[in-house]
């Protein structure tokens, strides 16, 4: 997998499904079998990890959080509404209702590639978050000369 980047506006249908862009499907590993683990994002969005990436992330988390209590706190939050979903033959992915509610999704959604994961956002909410962070982004990118 070479990672995910870019963004695309898409439609959430009445059954809670989105069409997964072909550029995303092409970047999935064969071992993932077109399957994602969907979790609540740290901000109001749905985060999608390819199945194999999610397994690696959980292993990293286990190593980073040696304190059993911290591990339980974090994994409970991550797993509470986690859902395994597979892209169907028409290229659609089901988004569970509780995650749709959490991310405040309506008819239109923004799919954003973000390295080894994908985020699904309400387009207006994403714009608010990006606009709010713009001064900090400018400062950081200037320091990095990027």
Q: What domains are there in the chain, each with its CATH number?
A: 7-144 (3.40.1550.20)
Taking the model in full, what pTM does it have?
0.89
Polymer length in residues for the chain: 146
pLDDT at 88: 95
Mind listing the pLDDT tens digit of every residue in the chain (146 residues)? 468 889 999 999 999 999 998 888 888 888 888 999 999 998 999 999 999 899 899 889 888 887 788 888 888 888 888 999 999 999 999 999 999 999 999 999 999 998 899 999 999 999 999 999 999 999 999 999 87
pLDDT at 2: 62
- Reduced 3-state DSSP string for 53-99: HHHHHHHHHHHHCCCHHHHHHHHHHHHCCCEEEECCCCCEEECCHHH
């Amino acid at each position: 997998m070479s990672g995910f980047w870019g963004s695309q506006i898409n439609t959430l249908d009445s059954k809670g499904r989105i069409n997964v862009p072909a550029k995303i499907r092409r970047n999935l590993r064969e071992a993932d079998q077109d399957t994602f683990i969907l979790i609540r994002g740290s901000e109001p969005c749905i985060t999608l990890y390819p199945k194999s990436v999610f397994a690696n992330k959980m292993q990293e988390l286990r190593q980073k959080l040696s304190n059993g209590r911290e591990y339980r706190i974090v994994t409970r939050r991550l797993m509470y509404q986690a859902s395994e979903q597979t892209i169907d033959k028409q290229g659609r992915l089901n988004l569970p209702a509780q995650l749709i509610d959490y991310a405040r999704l309506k008819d239109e959604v923004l799919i954003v590639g973000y390295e080894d994961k994908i985020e699904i956002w309400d387009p207006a909410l994403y714009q608010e978050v990006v606009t709010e962070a713009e001064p900090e982004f400018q400062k950081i990118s200037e320091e990095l000369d990027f």
